[in-house]
């Protein structure tokens, strides 16, 4: 919304949320989320045509176009628990829009929603006897956290799905007009509503599948003399495959991939497409395997016991350049290491606040420190879990000197210079490449 406000000065954009502390924070320079470049965008429009408020009712009444971007987490109860999307927040908003509106509006699904949600929402919204018409348009968001501003300013594509009726076409044009302020027309794709809803789920499923595919190969590389980095370079040179998203790692996290695949699996199951459901489910299974495998390699590498050993986790965010820790592999890894009775010290430039909340029940066994050197001092092992660029730039000689010996590095993101660390004295365990050890067991 901040980017829309910045690029479309003649539109008045009001962001509303039930969470008052988030709305307060949006009005300061200490934004509620960390995203490179976002503060500048917000500042360019805030107070001009970008406003933040908790008065949801007034914003509904005043607006002609409403983007609904509420959370759509995985359902944790009842039918479809653990898989289906929980649509209670979305439906609540739809009912509020219905109640407060005094004129017809375009309602945009910005949240990621299961296929056919728009028609459900239209049924709710158009169940009024006041002659008000609501046109529901799907406009899924493809930004990635950490590069959100760049992705919004230069999107590969914007997707708008509308009903193929006169009113649907008109609503679609209204949404196209917004994005056309800065996105070339050729990158604004229009489809029917269901294709649009499904495309968002499928895009995330394909991205996650690519990570699981390379991660599955990383396991094989570790058993052979192959290097997953070399395999990725070779297959990525094939223009049909492309080079991006081929980094083997501890696995994917974030609030979207897992939830959207579970949702896709649930939808396939509900149409009786069990083979299709199992196929996509395996992408998640491979991700769990990769996280577990990483911890197993740590325990095995450190002589089959890590009881009482101090282990420094470098990074807790689910990826670099964000403070978001939802579904972060770091949390699963932390829990498994604690299960093995290790002592954890976690460092992260942006995610320590969230880490503290995520591990609230284990803070007697977990230290959270800002400084990576302090985190590593006295540790038996450092495990790189998030690919923050700063970890590559550290003085690893200084880190080595401060650690218990033998010292271990488990590079869960393959961002370090493995040979150099090995030559310093570290025992180095990359992902998808044979370990480099100074002893033979
Ligand atoms: N985070 C991403 O990178 C990303 C990318 C693409 C799509 N999405 C999708 O966007 C949606 C939102 O994701 P998010 O990460 O921003 O979630 P979030 O939980 O961070 O934000 C959702 C916000 O909606 C507010 N909210 C809930 N009910 C409300 C109501 N009735 N009225 C007003 N506000 C209400 C919450 O207080 C919260 O601040 C999800 O469907 C997600 O799948 C997210």
Looking at residue 399, what is its pLDDT? 98
Residue appearing with tokens 């081929």: 246
Number of neighbouring beta carbons within 10 Å of residue 307: 9
Mean pLDDT, range 167-177, rounded to an integer: 97
pTM, to two decimals: 0.94
Q: In 3D, which of 401, 399, 342, 407 has the Cα closest to residue 374?
A: 399
Mutation test residue for ligand 1: of 147, 255, 322, the one with most atoms within 8 Å of CB: 255
Question: In angstroms, rounded to a whole number, what is the distance separating the alpha carbons of residues 321 and 88?
Answer: 31
User: Sign of dihedral through CA atoms 291, 296, 299, 303?
Assistant: negative
pLDDT higher than threshold 80 for residue 441: no
pLDDT per residue over 304-346, tens digit each? 999 999 999 999 999 999 999 999 999 999 999 999 999 999 9
Number of neighbouring beta carbons within 10 Å of residue 95: 13
Question: In angstroms, rounded to a whole number, what is the distance separating the alpha carbons of residues 334 and 62?
Answer: 47
Q: What is the number of the ligand 1 atom nearest to the C-alpha of 92?
A: 31
Active-site amino acid positions: 256
Would you place residue 186 in the very low, low, confident or very high pLDDT band (cuts 50, 70, 90)?
very high
Question: Residue 9 corresponds to which tokens in the numbers above?
Answer: 């000065």
CA dihedral 188, 191, 192, 195 (to 10 degrees): -110
Ligand 1 surroundings by CB, under 6 angstroms? 16-19, 22, 56, 69-72, 89, 92-93, 111-112, 141, 143, 145, 255-256
- Number of residues that this document lists for the chain: 441
Would you place residue 136 in the very low, low, confident or very high pLDDT band (cuts 50, 70, 90)?
very high
CA 143 → CA 46, 158, 288, distances in Å? 21, 10, 24
pLDDT per residue over 369-406, tens digit each? 999 999 999 999 999 999 999 999 999 999 999 999 99
CATH 3.20.20.70 describes domain 202-441: no
Q: Could you tell me which residues are beta bridge partners of residue 67?
A: 108
Question: Residue 250 corresponds to which tokens in the numbers above?
Answer: 């501890």
Mean pLDDT, range 183-197, rounded to an integer: 96
Are the CB atoms for 97 and 65 separated by under 8 Å? no
d(CA 119, ligand 1 centre) in Å: 20
User: Sign of dihedral through CA atoms 183, 184, 187, 190?
Assistant: positive
d(CA 263, ligand 1 centre) in Å: 16
Looking at residue 110, what is its pLDDT? 94
pLDDT higher than threshold 90 for residue 128: no
CA 352 → CA 173, 367, 413, distances in Å? 44, 10, 19
- Ordered by start, the domain boundaries in the chain are 2-200, 202-441
Q: Name the superfamily (CATH) of residues 2-200.
A: NAD(P)-binding Rossmann-like Domain (3.40.50.720)
Mean pLDDT, range 429-437, rounded to an integer: 96
pLDDT higher than threshold 80 for residue 43: yes
d(CA 111, ligand 1 centre) in Å: 7
pLDDT per residue over 10-33, tens digit each? 999 999 999 999 999 999 999 999
Mean pLDDT, range 138-163, rounded to an integer: 97
Question: In angstroms, rounded to a whole number, what is the distance separating the alpha carbons of residues 157 and 185?
Answer: 9
Number of neighbouring beta carbons within 10 Å of residue 98: 19
Q: What is the number of the ligand 1 atom nearest to the C-alpha of 33?
A: 20
Mean pLDDT, the chain, rounded, equals: 96
Looking at residue 129, what is its pLDDT? 85
Number of neighbouring beta carbons within 10 Å of residue 116: 13
Question: Which DSSP category does 247 fall into?
Answer: -
Would you place residue 207 in the very low, low, confident or very high pLDDT band (cuts 50, 70, 90)?
very high
């Amino acid at each position: 919304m901040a980017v829309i406000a910045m690029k479309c000065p003649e539109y008045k954009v009001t962001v509303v949320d039930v969470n008052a502390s988030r709305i307060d924070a949006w009005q300061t320079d200490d934004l509620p989320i960390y995203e490179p470049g976002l503060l500048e965008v917000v500042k360019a429009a805030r107070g001009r045509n970008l406003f933040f408020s908790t008065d949801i009712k007034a914003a509904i009444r005043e607006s002609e176009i409403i983007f609904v971007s509420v959370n759509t987490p995985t359902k944790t109860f009842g039918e479809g628990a653990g898989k289906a999307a929980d649509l209670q927040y979305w439906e609540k908003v739809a009912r509020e829009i219905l109640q407060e509106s005094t004129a017809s509006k375009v309602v945009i699904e910005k949240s990621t929603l299961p296929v056919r949600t728009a028609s459900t929402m239209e049924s709710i919204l158009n169940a009024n006897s006041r002659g008000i018409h609501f046109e529901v348009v799907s406009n899924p968001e493809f930004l990635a956290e950490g590069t959100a501003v760049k992705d919004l300013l230069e999107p590969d594509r914007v997707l708008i799905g509308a009903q193929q009726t006169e009113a649907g076409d008109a609503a679609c044009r209204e949404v196209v007009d917004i994005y056309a302020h800065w996105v070339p027309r050729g990158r604004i794709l229009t489809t029917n509503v269901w294709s649009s809803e499904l495309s968002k789920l499928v895009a995330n499923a394909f991205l996650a599948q690519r990570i699981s595919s390379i991660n599955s190969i990383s396991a094989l590389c570790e058993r052979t003399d192959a290097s997953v980095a070399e395999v990725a370079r070779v297959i990525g040179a094939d223009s049909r495959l492309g080079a991006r998203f081929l980094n083997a790692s501890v696995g994917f996290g974030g609030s979207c991939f897992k939830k959207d695949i579970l949702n896709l699996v649930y939808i396939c199951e509900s149409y009786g497409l069990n083979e299709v459901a199992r196929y996509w489910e395996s992408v998640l299974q491979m991700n769990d395997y990769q996280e577990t495998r990483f911890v197993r390699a740590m325990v095995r590498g450190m002589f089959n016991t890590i009881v009482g050993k101090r282990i420094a986790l470098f990074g807790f965010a689910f990826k670099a350049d964000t403070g978001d820790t939802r579904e972060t592999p770091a949390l699963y890894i932390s829990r498994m290491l604690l299960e093995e009775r290790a002592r954890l010290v976690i460092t992260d430039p942006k995610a320590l606040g969230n880490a503290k909340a995520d591990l609230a029940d284990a803070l007697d066994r977990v230290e959270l420190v800002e400084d990576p050197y302090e985190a590593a001092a006295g540790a038996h092992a450092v495990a790189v879990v998030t690919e923050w660029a700063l970890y590559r730039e550290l003085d690893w000689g200084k880190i080595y000197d401060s650690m218990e010996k033998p010292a271990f590095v488990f590079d869960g993101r393959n961002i370090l210079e493995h040979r150099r660390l090995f030559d310093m004295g570290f025992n180095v365990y990359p992902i998808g490449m044979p370990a480099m050890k100074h002893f033979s067991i």
